[in-house]
Amino acid sequence: KLCKQYFPVDILSKILSINVDLQTDATLQVDISDALSERDKVKFTVHTKSTLPNFKQNEFSVVRQHEEFIWLHDSFVENEEYAGYIIPPAPPRPDFDASREKLQKLGEGEGSMTKEEFTKMKQELEAEYLAIFKKTVAMHEVFLCRVAAHPVLRKDMNFHVFLEYNQDLSVRGKNKREKMEDFFKNVVKSADGVLVAGVKDVDDFFEHEKTFLLEYHNRVKDASSKSDRMIRSHKNAADDINRIASTLYTLGTQDSTDVCKFFLKVSELFEKTRKIEARVAADEDLKLADLLKYYLRESQAAKDLLYRRGRALVDYENANKALDKARAKNKDVLQAETSQQVCCQKFEKISESAKQELIDFKTRRVAAFRKNLVELAELELKHAKGNLQLLQSCVGVLKGDT
Amino acid sequence: MQLEEEVEDKFELNISITNPEKVGEFHYISPFSTTLPMFRSKTFTVRRRFSDFLGLYEKLSDKHTPNGYIVPPPPEKSIMGMTKVKVGKEDNSSAEFVERRRAALERYLQRVVFHPSLLQDPDVREFLERDDMPRAHNTQALSGAGFLKMINRATDSLSKMTIKMNESDVWFEEKLQEVEAEDQQLRKLHIMVDSLVGHRKELSVNTGGFAKSVAMLGSSEDNTALSRALSQLAEVEDKMEQLHQEQAASDSFCFAELLADYIRLLGSVRASFDQRMKTWQRWQDAQNMLQKKRETEAKLLWANKPDKLQQAKDDITEWEAKVTQYERDFDRVSATVRKEVLRFEKEKACDFKKQIIKYLESLLQSQQQLIKYWEAFLPEAKAIA
């Protein structure tokens, strides 16, 4: 039934809540201008405007799927040249399973409810589907914008191919063996991560950052899950008010007495207030929950950077030891010297760029939180005032009637 | 609380039930104040046990329900109440349960005394005035579940009777259908409001958890302004936790309880229709009996048995009187039921309006509080640099 959904551009452009203060200059601007939801995949239209000479045209669009974004992200991670940068976190996989299941159940249960109830529920579920859809588009867009705003990553060949090549990138999903390799890589990384984290860094800046990020990441994780729980309860309460409004309506239409007219007015009020409540929950989701989720992923990416630097440090220290040994034995000294120099350069290069990256991360984080908290507060106020006005006018009318 | 009614004499009768104190069982103190001349003094206080309230209902129901009166029912004994769904952790001693019961008993008593006929009942006067009440027995049957079972059984047998109603009864038939439809909707509504109460309590708890989490996040944030803003956000969410908790209480006490009251009351309404049915049936049965007696007389005349004839004639006289009596009863009960239903509907309209407006006003206050909290927070968020 919901095979193809088509959503206009202006809705999409309003979703960006996390894209803050990114240097969007005329040389390279990327956005997702369209999106199509098909049976089991989402097709994003990636639109680019650029004055850079590398591209054949100044403005062009291609269609990409989620796997291609992941391919691009992984190519950054695997590129040694980018070891000193915070790799923008990959967007999460579009997940409509739960929503689809609910819609299917609704379709099956169509016979057991009234036409009004069915229509209402269908509208609700469609709105939910739309909200999830908007979010996934926003997250894919943010990823691209972060890349486009990064002074080094924006020049990446794969990125340009991603933006311009108008055929399928034929990025097959990882086969079983590759998935296993990934798994082990992650296991090794986390074991190493523990090791590296235990070693106290000589550099104060990095030592502070390590301590800070470890704690911050855990607390953001907790705040993220708690915010999800809170928002879910909020949605549940709004759903209840919706059902209450329906039942009051039924009571109100049973007769034309004063009481029934009263019920109809109250039902109308609850219909309106619950729409506002649902919007409050949705806005909290966008401004708070999504913000926390994003910084959960970003802080993980920052931790990964520290880990890479830590690995480079270990390699450097090992190269030093190897050089000492070679000098002592007077064997393969030149080789050891070269190796040591390579490790030294690598380490210093990473350290230099890592420092800047982490400072930028802080700036971005503070700006994003500021923007979202201000918007959250403004929206909460707007909705509360809306609610208040509805309640006041309704109570006024009801009191006047008696 | 004053009731303005079309009754000739306006009177004042203020009842409230306060402070249950635990003395073995709960004793309720009910301070009254009144201008009614029938009471001994203008203000007085008595203590009653929960079972005393049930006992009062039993007495009133026994006397008045058969005559078609809608006797207000007391609250249930059990915690489970209407929907058999446990909303949060509740037990007999929880403050919430105690308050709920107190308020329900108060409303019960207020309904009783504002019923013009019931107020005249000496049992009611005794309940209000007498210092020491003898313990009420046999109140088991009056526990909520038992009461509802009794009503349901009665209405079942009602539907099983194939009753041919004549023209003048269309009002009753329609009314009963209305009552049954309304009962169904109110029960549905009550379940939904209970669900709302549950979700709001959940929201309150989850908001509190979130508040603590944000506070922790704020303390590990190394940008000072952001750190401060986050701890302010934590405070706002803390206040929201409190707000949601209060709102859940309002949902419960203003709205859910109102619905529970009226579901019980509709049970009493159906009981009065039931009684009317019974009196009609009794009249019909008497008519059938009279017919039989007449047939017996005819048979005896034909069989020429003069000795038994006198008995037959006496029987006929007896049953003729009964038929007349039962017809009068039916008419009287019908008129009472009609009057009662109209009175009930008026009271219900008034009650619902008053309570729901009160509920909406509590929602209103909630929003005003909300606005205050976020207005205080906004400058803090803007101050982040």
Residue B206 reports pLDDT greater than 60: yes
CA-CA-CA-CA torsion sign (B269, B270, B273, B274): negative
Chain B touched by A216 (CB under 8 Å): yes
pLDDT score for A400:
83
CB-count burial class (<10 Å; 0-12, 13-18, 19+) for B343: middle
Q: Is B3 exposed, middle or buried (0-12, 13-18, 19+ CB in 10 A)?
A: middle
Q: Does B85 touch chain A (CB under 8 A)?
A: no
The reported pLDDT for the residue numbered B7 is 36
In this structure, of A195-209, A232-246, A297-311, B309-323, the range with the lowest mean pLDDT score is: A195-209
User: For A344-396, what is each residue's pLDDT tens digit?
Assistant: 999 999 999 999 999 999 999 999 999 999 999 999 999 999 999 999 999 99
B245-274 mean pLDDT = 92
* Any B CB within 8 A of A214 CB: no
**Which of A233, A285, A397 has the highest number of chain B CBs within 10 A, making it the mutation to test binding with B?**
A233
Query: Which site among A272, A287, A370, A383 would you substitute to test the B interface, given the most B Cβ atoms closer than 10 Å to its Cβ?
Result: A370
Interval A198-214 mean pLDDT: 82
Q: Which of residues 107 through 126 in chain B touch A, CB cutoff 8 A?
A: none
Percent of chain B with pLDDT over 90: 45
pLDDT-based confidence at residue A180 (cuts at 50, 70, 90): low
Name which of A230, A251, A395 is nearest B203 (Cβ-Cβ): A230
Chain B residue numbers touching A369 (CB-CB < 8 A): 226, 229-230, 384
Closest residue, chain A, to B349 (C-alpha): A259
Q: What is the pLDDT of residue B95?
A: 75
Q: Is 0.95 topped by the overall pTM?
A: no
Q: Please indicate whether residue A83 or residue B15 has the higher confidence score (pLDDT).
A: A83
Residue of chain B minimizing CA distance to A214: B220
Between A213 and B43, where is the model more confident?
A: A213
Pairwise CB contact (< 8 Å): B353 & A262: yes
Task: Give A155 or A15, the one with higher predicted confidence.
Answer: A155
pLDDT at B6: 34
pLDDT band at A67 (very low <50, low <70, confident <90, very high): very high
Evaluate whether A66 touches A41 at the Cβ level (below 8 Å).
Answer: yes
- Contact of A387 with chain B, judged by CB distance below 8 Å, is answered with yes
The predicted model gives B235-256 an average pLDDT of 94
pLDDT at B80 over 60: no
Confidence check: pLDDT of B236 > 90:
yes
For A95-109, A145-159, B237-251, which range has the lowest pLDDT when averaged over its residues?
Answer: A95-109
Condensed to tens digits (0 to 9), the pLDDT of residues A3-27 reads 334 444 334 444 444 444 455 567 8
Q: Which residue of A has its CA nearest to B236?
A: A377
Average pLDDT for B80-108? 66
What's the Cα-to-Cα distance from A32 to each of A2, A39, A140, A151, B355, rounded to whole Å?
A: 21, 20, 8, 21, 52
The confidence score (pLDDT) of residue A44 equals 93
Q: Which amino acid is at B207?
A: T
The region of weakest confidence among A42-56, A358-372, B41-55 is: B41-55
Q: Which of the two residues, B205 and A204, has the higher pLDDT score?
A: B205
Q: Which residue of B lies nearest to A398 if distances are taken between CA atoms? A: B357
Best to test chain B binding among A216, A228, A230 (most B CBs inside 10 Å): A230
pLDDT value, residue A338? 92
Nearest to B210 among A227, A259, A395 (CB): A227
Instruction: Report the pLDDT value the prediction gives residue A40, as an integer from 0 to 100.
Output: 75
Q: Is residue B115 exposed (0-12), middle (13-18) or buried (19+ Cβ within 10 Å)?
A: buried
In chain A, residues with a C-beta closer than 8 Å to the C-beta of B220 are 212, 215-216, 219
Gap from A355 CA to chain B (nearest CA, Å): 16
| Inter-chain CB proximity A257 and B352 less than 8 Å | no
- Residue A9 has what pLDDT? 38
User: Which of residues A207 and B157 earns the better pLDDT score?
Assistant: A207
Q: Is B178 on the interface with A (CB under 8 A)?
A: yes
The 8-class DSSP code of residue B14 comes to E
Q: What's the confidence (pLDDT) of residue A17?
A: 43
Residues of chain B contacting A251 with CB distance shorter than 8 Å: 182, 185-186, 189
Instruction: Name the residue with higher pLDDT: B91 or A53.
Output: A53
Q: Does the beta-carbon distance from A240 to B210 stay under 8 Å? A: no
pLDDT of residue B8: 36
Does A229 contact B210 at a Cβ distance shorter than 8 Å? yes
Report pLDDT digits (tens) over B307-340.
788 888 888 999 999 999 999 999 999 999 999 9
> Which tops the pLDDT comparison, B358 or A101?
B358
**Cβ contact B110:B75 at 8 Å:** no
Q: What is the pLDDT of residues A304-319, one digit of tens each?
A: 999 999 889 989 999 9
